[in-house]
Amino acid sequence: MAIFKCCKETSQLVTLLADRPSSWQDRLAMRIHLLVCINCARFARQMRMIREWLRSEEGGGELSGPARARIAARLNGAAQEPEKL
């Protein structure tokens, strides 16, 4: 095992931490790299920020008037003919 990872390898360990199984040696090497590399430390922080922002923020916009009317009509139709649901 290599205790020193390059930025490229570290970036993969960071982005795939929750997805790809990794050995404790790899995770340790990642942590060491993050302690000494300002770019990768910022990268890891940015990844956390993106995740938090995307989870806390919804997409923009709202249902358009026509879409709302269309859905309301479909729901009405369906409610009156439950067997067709």
| Chain positions contacting other proteins, by CB under 8 A | 6-9, 11-12, 15-16, 19-20, 38-40, 42-43, 45-47, 49-51, 53-54, 57-64, 67-68, 70-72, 74-76, 78-79, 85
Report residue 70 CA to chain centroid gap.
Answer: 32
Report, in Å, the least distance between residue 24 CB and other proteins.
19
Give yes or no for a contact between 46 and 11, defined as CB atoms under 8 angstroms apart.
Answer: no
For other proteins, the closer CB: 28 or 50: 50
How many Cβ atoms sit within 10 Å of the Cβ of residue 33? 22
| Amino acid (1-letter code) at residue 35 | L
